[in-house]
Amino acid sequence: MQKTYWKNILLLDKKLVDLLRRALAYEPDAPGSKELIVQARKVLLRLSEPDISADQLITWFPDNEKES
């Protein structure tokens, strides 16, 4: 896993690295996965403001977790 991490981290924009570092370090103020997607789109698409919000993203649970 560490090899994959270092291979990919070398190619990322510094803003993305900073976002991921906090999440991977489990920092209390780190953004959740949906917010990471929103911020990653902002960086990758060179937007001045995000064009979507975290609450607009949908999460599907695996089929085996659907029924409780």
Residue 17 and residue 58: Cα distance in Å, rounded? 24
Instruction: Compute the CA torsion angle 56, 57, 63, 65 (nearest 10 deg).
Output: -80
Split at pLDDT 50, 70, 90, the class of 66 is: low
Q: Which amino acid is at 26?
A: Y
Domain span at 7? 2-66
Token pair, residue 17, equals 């690295």
Tens of pLDDT along 13-33? 888 888 888 888 899 988 888
The number of domains in the chain is: 1
Q: What percent of the chain has pLDDT over 70?
A: 94
Of residues 39 and 9, more confidently modeled: 39
Q: What pLDDT does 68 receive?
A: 52
